[in-house]
Structure formats: C-alpha cells, structure tokens
Amino acid sequence: MRLKEWQLVALALSVLAATAALAYFAAHWQLAAPRLGARCVAVIRLEGTIAYSTSQLALLGATADPDEISKLIDRAASDDSIGAVVLLINSPGGSAAASEALYAKVRELAARKPVVAYVREYGTSGAYMVALPARAILASNSSIVGSVGVYVSVLTYTGLLEKLGVKVHVFRSGELKDLGAGYRELTPRDAQVLEEVVSDLFDLFKRRVLAHRSLRDPGDVFTGRPFTARQALERGLIDGVGTLDDALRLARELGGLPPDAPVLELRPPRPSLLQLLLRGYPARSPVAPSIEILAMRPPPIQP
C-alpha cells in the first residue's frame, strides 16, 4: 500500500525529531559525563588557527574557536573534581582578537587552578600568547615556539583589474575609509596607519611576554622569529622540554593530585543533526580578506 504524501512528510518529520532528540541527549551526556570518582587532570585542546567560526580565517583550515574553548575552560574552572588543567597546544596563532579572548580566559582559569601548557607541534604567536598565563609551559622536542609578533597583510590586484579593463569607482567619506582595499595601491598614509596598528598590538604582546616570563636572553625574542624547543628553553620562553606525560605529571604535582590521578579530556559537544539542518554553515566570503591581523603563519619546516 502506497503512503499518502502527508503520511510521508509526517514519517520524515518523526524520524528527524527522533534523530535530533538522540543527538541532543548524546551531546548533553557528554557535557555532563559521570564524574570519575576521584579528582582528575583535565585536558583542553587548542588546535588549528585561532579564529571565530564566522571568521574568514576559517577558510584556511581547522580553527580553534574561542567561544567553544571558553566553554570548556569555564567547565574546568567550575568543576571541583578537576584539580589541574593541561592546555594541549598545536596552533600557529590566529587573529589578534581571538587570541586575546583566549588569553583572558586562560588567565582567569590559572588564577583558580594550576594550568600547564604543552606545545605538541606549534605554539607560536597568538597561541604562545594564550599559553603565557599557565603556571608552566612545556614543549615537545621537535616543536616550534615563539614568533612573538604581529603582521598585517594587504593583497592588491590593481594590475589585474587594468588588464581585464575593470574600473572601480569608490565614494568614501574619508581618505582612509577603504584602507587596505585590494582595488587600489597603498598610499604612504595607508602604510603609516597600518604600521601604527601593528606597532600598538606588538607593544601589547611584548608587555604580556615580559610580565609572564623571566627571559634569559631577550635579544631576538621580539624579532618575530620562531624557535625550536631547545632554543626557546635557553631564552626562557618555556620551562621544559618533554612529553605530554611529563606535562600531565607536572599538572598532578601542581594540583596536589596523586600520581595516578585520572585524565579527563574536555571536548565540545557535537552539533545535533537538527542544529546542522537549521543553522547550516556560517556565511563567508569566497575570497580571503584583504587585511587580516594574524599572529603567525607557520614556517614550512619538515623533518
């Protein structure tokens, strides 16, 4: 017997509702997972470019969304069963605003519980800024650390437009209103403004590093160059070179936990099917922005 059209629609809606309900309860079960019966060390991952999910930087690959990570940090701060936190970092940095937001959250967490930052592969620029409030920073032997600095990139395509015969007419309220627009070349005034932005953000970054770290050799720390773990240790950018187990061991000691204290990895809940269907993906421009303040783009280092 063939089902009528309204019956098919009702059946489809029922299946969708059931799936959404299961996903909802699964997500909330993950957030409210049973306590481990003993105080533990929480692990929070910071992986990928630090950027908000709606940022155009998300076009460049996996991102570490400050909104999602902040929720995990808040959970670690409020959960009495968590005695210490390891921030597991593998990030080249990201936007200045996103890095700033995470720095503030880690600083709040570190004021309440011991935090150990561990750099697995990259812990550079904005990601290094996020690690600064930690009680200790450790890094793997082959990791890249540092790149303390800021840059602004501007992409212009005036030559291409001329070859294509394209003319751009702009009506602006001031000479700097379209600062960094790719359809025109930078003027000396444009360059001055952008240099001031970079200088101001860099001064803030530098002050943070000096406030949190006792540098042994600051000579080239603020040139923007990256360092190997050994080089970073020599300059005082990190406190040790080791493994993730070493970071967990140190976190247990700082938190007054037993050597066998369990490890709980905090992860954001997966979005439900209904959320994906109703929300979809954030609208983004198909092209990269002409200006984006980034902390670092990792150097192409291969073993």
The range of the structural domain enclosing residue 94 comes to 33-153+214-294
Convert the pLDDT of each residue in 213-246 to its tens digit: 999 878 899 999 999 999 999 999 999 999 999 9
Q: How far apart are CA 73 and CA 42, in angstroms?
A: 10
In a domain, 82, yes or no: yes
Name residues whose C-beta falls within 8 Å of residue 250's C-beta, 6 or more positions apart in sequence: 116, 136, 138, 240
Spatial contact of 251 and 274, defined as CB atoms under 8 Å apart: no
Given the residues 14, 81, 142, 177, the one annotated as active site: 177
Q: How far apart are CA 211 and CA 127, in angstroms?
A: 17
Closest to 157 measured CA to CA, from 173, 134, 176, 181: 181
pLDDT of residue 56: 54
Closest to 87 measured CA to CA, from 250, 293, 301, 292: 250
Q: How far apart are CA 76 and CA 43, in angstroms?
A: 9
- Catalytic, 4? Answer no
Annotate 154-173 with DSSP letters as a single string.
Answer: E---HHHHHHHT-------S
- Catalytic, 105? Answer no
Query: What is the model's pTM?
Result: 0.78
Convert the pLDDT of each residue in 262-294 to its tens digit: 999 998 876 555 544 444 444 444 333 334 444
Q: How far apart are CA 301 and CA 177, in angstroms?
A: 39
Can you give the CATH number for the domain in which 98 is found?
3.90.226.10
In a domain, 100, yes or no: yes
Name the β-bridge partners of 227. 145
Name the β-bridge partners of 82. 40
pLDDT of residue 271: 56
Q: Where are the alpha helices (DSSP H) in the chain?
A: 5-31, 66-78, 96-110, 126-131, 158-164, 188-212, 229-235, 244-254, 273-279
Regarding predicted confidence, which is higher, 111 or 150? 111
Given the residues 99, 125, 147, 272, the one annotated as active site: 125
pLDDT of residue 272: 55
Q: Structural domain tally of the chain?
A: 1
Considering the chain, what percentage of its residues have pLDDT values greater than 70?
73
pLDDT of residue 31: 37
